[in-house]
Chain A
Amino acid sequence: MIASIIRRRIAEFCALLRANGFSIGMSEVIDCVSALEYIDVLDREEFRQTLMCTLAKKAEQIPLFLYLFESFFSNPNKENPQIPLLNQGAASGGAGYTPSTLLQRSQISAQNWFKAYSPNHLESERRITLEGVKHRYVLRRNIRTLERAYPKLGGRRRRSSVKGEVDLRSTLRSSLRGSGDLRSLRWSERKPAKNRLLVLVDVSGSMDSATQSLLELVYVASNVTHTSSVFCFSTTIRRVDNLIRGKTPQEAARIIGSQLSIWGSGTRIGDSLSSLLSEFSHLLDPSTLVVIISDGWDLGDVVGLRESISEIRARVGGILWFNPLADTEGYQPLTAGISTVLPYLDALAGLSCLFEPRGVMRLLAKIRASGGV
């Protein structure tokens, strides 16, 4: 039987993990306490590994878990150890946070937990904010929504329905279940296929203020689904999903830092889209949903931009444009780049849509209500 003091410490530690974005329910706590029955709790390595395998369920959580473990269990004599509560918003329930507050927090936070990529200072240390754990979860949900909920073509798989085509196999089975006579027909229809996402992220200098969000977006879009393709563009375009898929955030940041030299330079959207059309045309088909994140400040040829975007629109299932400037009140799409592409878009929305809980669901509802889809 585990001593009550250990159970209490475990409960406190779980609360600390929760406050820092770990998703820990009662089942995890019960597993953890049950597991401690089978190990030597005085063996620190064994104790840490037991807590880690029951409480940290993602590779990206492990560095943070180890940090918190060392901080928490290195102060055994203190009643209230001074563990930095890294995510005050989450600790207080996490309600009401917005992308702007997240970005604000990421700028004012001083702790330097992880080494990561800074687009402007490649050799410097940049913190991946701990708010990002919550951030990333919401972003992941929104990207999955885009993949599934946006109107799409029928896939090759079928599902039973009340209309469509006669399903011979199911009809035969249902008739065999009775006397063997054909009593009723069963129907099936094509199951909607998931969209294949093609995410284009503008990493030019004008997008610097949203760098942290863009890094998160590039990482999550590359990893949340294995069919997505993620590109970064400024004056030219680079594919990044194949570089960072399956990597931890730290590894991904290092790879982007060392291999993506286009971050922070000028913008030629038309040229970048033209390169996309010539080099990656096989990724553009009616099942593709193109998601572009850019402020639309283009220094390239507007005619070329119009030709490229119209050709892409003709090939793909839809184009959504997320503009960080559209989050500000009174925004009007008047810049040359945005006004050129606007007729070809299914929707133009603020970047915050992707970072707010149910932001994409609300956007899709608006599109449907306006008859856009």
Chain B
Amino acid sequence: MCYVFVWVLAVVGAVFEVDERAVSREMLKSALNSVGYIADDALITTLYLSLRLGKPLLLEGEPGCGKTELAKSLSHAFNRELIRLQCYEGLDSSSAIYEWDYLRQLLKIRMLEASGSIPDSEIFSERFILKRPLLRAVTHGDSKPPVLLIDEVDRADEEFEGFLLEFLAEFQVTIPELGSFKAKKPPIVVITSNQTRELGDGLRRRCLYYYVSFPTPERELEILSVKVRGLDEALARQIVGFVRVLREEFDLVKKPGVAETIDWARALLSLDAKTLDPQLVRQTLSCLIKDSSDTLKVDGDALKRAVENATAKTS
């Protein structure tokens, strides 16, 4: 028993402490599998090349298909800190890089004045900086570089996208009062976009590109078996079949992604469902359909036919 435990520790240690830039594709795949991320070979190849070449990985695709989850899984798999920059309209460099901690600076000035000293350059030292994600990513002291997730970059303004070009080229941040900070080891950068607007060519050129599409039924079944423990296999097949029918046969504004499939499977599991029927599907459809016009499309006879199609295909 004791030997087995030591062997497991050794194997786990060998996988998790290895330099992520030197892993093989098989190790990368098994490391991601071990943290519950099932990726297809094309994505693994792209991610592997991104790590080997030290280039950011740009992921585009439908929402809910696992773009953000990949960065999280990567950080878990390699035991790295995940630094997340959530983009939004109006995001500026002070929210992304650093801000001076004015309150502390003023307090320090008051203290110095009270003691008869004059404020000196210490006021503008690293102590008084509030580090935001990009600065944190380049000043990471650990020997293991963090995973930097720049999430939904399409929501940020084009000015910010322009700023990112410089950052991604040099992995360097300049603070006028203190000088430049350059990452000793560049972080692993994953950028995601939901395509709400077109990204500039400059950003695309600096990254390796992968389009995350809906998974094949077999892959989705595999994901369900990992993510939703205790789900009956027959029911899982019906779930995957029904979601596939929704994606392919209905013109939905928002097609259900993998995240919705997982949510729905969990909902059905909590309801102790054994098989799909139109009434059960109608009651739980809110897990899959996220647009009011789609709700009208998937109703009545159309819903009944879709359930019958899904169950017939799987049986």
Contact = CB atoms under 8 A, between A and B. Distances in A.
Interface of A: 23, 25, 27-28, 31, 34-35, 38-39, 45-46, 49-50, 52-54, 56-59, 62, 140, 157, 172-173, 176-177, 179-180, 223-226, 242-243, 245-246, 255, 258-259
A176 B105 contact: yes
B131 interface: no
Nearest to B155: A226
Contacts, number: 88
A59 B100 contact: no
Interface stretch (B203-211, B228-236, B237-245): B203-211
Contacts of B260: none
Interface stretch (B10-18, B29-37, B50-58, B307-315): B50-58
Interface of B: 41-42, 45-46, 48-50, 52-53, 55, 58, 60-62, 90, 100, 102, 105, 109, 118-119, 123-124, 154-155, 177, 194-198, 201, 204-205, 207-211, 251, 253
A49 B45 contact: yes
Nearest to B201: A23
A54 B208 contact: yes
A180 B109 contact: yes
Nearest to B204: A57
A-B complex: 10 closest residue pairs judged by Cβ atoms: A57-B204, A246-B195, A226-B196, A53-B46, A57-B209, A49-B45, A53-B208, A226-B197, A59-B211, A49-B42
Contacts of A54: 49, 208
Given A35-B49, A39-B49, A243-B253, A53 B209 contact: yes
A34 B53 contact: yes
Nearest to A143: B198
Contacts of B46: 49, 53
A223 B197 contact: yes
Given A35-B53, A39-B49, A58-B204, A246 B194 contact: yes
A53 B253 contact: no
Centre residue among A45, A57, A59, A258 by max chain B CB count within 10 A: A57
Contacts of B253: 242-243
B198 A157 contact: no
B204 A157 contact: no
A77 B211 CA distance: 32
Given A224-B198, A226-B196, A56 B49 contact: no
B286 to A, nearest CB: 20
Contacts of A172: 102
Contact of A25 (B90, B197, B205): B205
Given A38-B48, A53-B49, A223 B195 contact: yes
Contacts of A39: 45, 49
Given A53-B49, A58-B204, 16 more contacts: A27-B205, A31-B55, A35-B49, A38-B52, A46-B45, A52-B209, A57-B209, A59-B60, A176-B119, A179-B119, A180-B119, A225-B197, A226-B197, A242-B253, A245-B195, A259-B251
A7 to B, nearest CB: 17
A226 B154 contact: yes
Contacts of A180: 109, 119
Contacts of A45: 41-42
Contacts of B49: 35, 38-39, 50, 53-54
Nearest to A259: B251
Given A53-B45, A53-B46, A226-B197, A173 B100 contact: yes
